[in-house]
Amino acid sequence: MSAGISRSGKPAVVAHRGASGELAEHTLAAYELALSQGADGLECDVRLTADGELVCIHDRTIDRTSDASGVVSEMSLAQLREYDFGSWHRSGRAASVLTLRELLTLTLDWHRPVRLFIETKHPVRFGSMVELKLLEVLHEFGVAAPPSADHSRAVVISFSPAGVWRVRRTAPILPTILLGDSIRIIGGTAATAVGATGVGPSIETLRLHPDLVDRAAAAGRVTYAWTCDDQADVQLCADLGVRWLATNYPARVRDWLVTVE
């Protein structure tokens, strides 16, 4: 069975920044909870620190998700380690900044196959260095050159066509998903031009353009929908044949999918 593929034929559940509806996003505890809840995949955002380490942080700054302030790219990993990235959340659990290496270790050591969806952020200070460093780390962990796309333990996703193209050019077997909330980008020629193996519409875009899933399938691409936290949206994704469904509440969504015909 391919890594992280739903065993039921229904959409596979991807924990968006971990079980981030219950615990602080991008924390080790949030990802451990998602895995314990049976998530088929995990999603994270990565940014480069000033000393070249990839950390799991969504925003350009740490203001929203820590007890400090500052720009991620201007801080070293050691500096980021000094701050609390968990207590801001209503769960109140203190947490250290999470590195991509730590998350990869958790994912690959889990007792069942799980796929990690890694989003590179753009525009950023370091530009293409983000993808280059990411591929370096994936090679270090032995997942940059999978035997096939279906059996890959990692997927690189991005809103940047150039970012997707850099990965496809350097690691052609590694799955890639071009994200977007514009039908012009993900439903047009951009995904084909950069060789993306999948498209990632927002659930809002998918509601407006449900034919996108069939169009992607006709072009040989899978669909990754984000971020689906409502039961009606989960049903829609199942009805349309969405392959991957990103959610902040993996346990809830898995329960809903049990009732889907």
Instruction: List the catalytic residues.
Output: 16, 58
Provide the residue type at 78 as one letter: A
| d(C-alpha 25, C-alpha 65), whole Å | 8
Closest to 46 in 3D by CA, of 98, 83, 86: 98
Q: Could you give the count of Cα atoms lying within 13 Å of 194 in the half-sphere of its Cβ?
A: 28
- What distance, in Å, lies between the first and last C-alpha atoms of the chain? 22
Closest to 107 in 3D by CA, of 171, 222, 198, 18: 18
Residue holding tokens 């999948």?
Answer: 198
| d(C-alpha 161, C-alpha 172), whole Å | 15
| d(C-alpha 38, C-alpha 21), whole Å | 15
- Helix (H, G, I), strand (E, B), or coil: what is residue 237? helix
Closest to 178 in 3D by CA, of 128, 170, 165: 165
- Helix (H, G, I), strand (E, B), or coil: what is residue 202? strand
| d(C-alpha 25, C-alpha 248), whole Å | 9
Provide the residue type at 160 as one letter: S
Provide the residue type at 140 as one letter: E
**Structural contact between residues 6 and 33, judged by C-beta atoms closer than 8 angstroms:** no
